[in-house]
Amino acid sequence: MARFDRTTKQSKTKSITISSIVGASAFQAGIEDYKAGVQRFDEFAGKFIRKGTGWRSCGWDYERGRLYAASIVGIGQVMPPPRIGRAVNPTAINSLSEAFNRGDVR
């Protein structure tokens, strides 16, 4: 049986919404980078933004954007823009939700 100490404990987690993922600039950067065929994960890894009462990893949002773009291309759908003006696009929210349900994005 594995032994756990303070250095191997799970970090505290916090629930986030699909809307907040779609609205994140790192998510949008992940989509654009996938389309351009580049990978800049190192620029986002280790960066955190203040959200509500906690912090949120930009690296996760970036990778979700890349996975989402790959998922949409893979099933042959047209990718809706994440935002319409300043507002989060409801079609993109539904599309990401479907990608989560298919297991393409985690």
Give every CB contact of residue 94 below 8 A, 6+ residues apart in sequence. Answer: none
Structure confidence by residue, pLDDT tens digits, 31-71: 999 999 998 888 888 787 776 666 777 888 899 999 999 99
- Supply the pTM of this predicted model: 0.78
- pLDDT computed for residue 50 by the predictor: 73
Burial class (CB in 10 A: 0-12, 13-18, 19+), 98: middle
Instruction: Assess contact for 57 and 41: CB atoms under 8 A.
Output: no
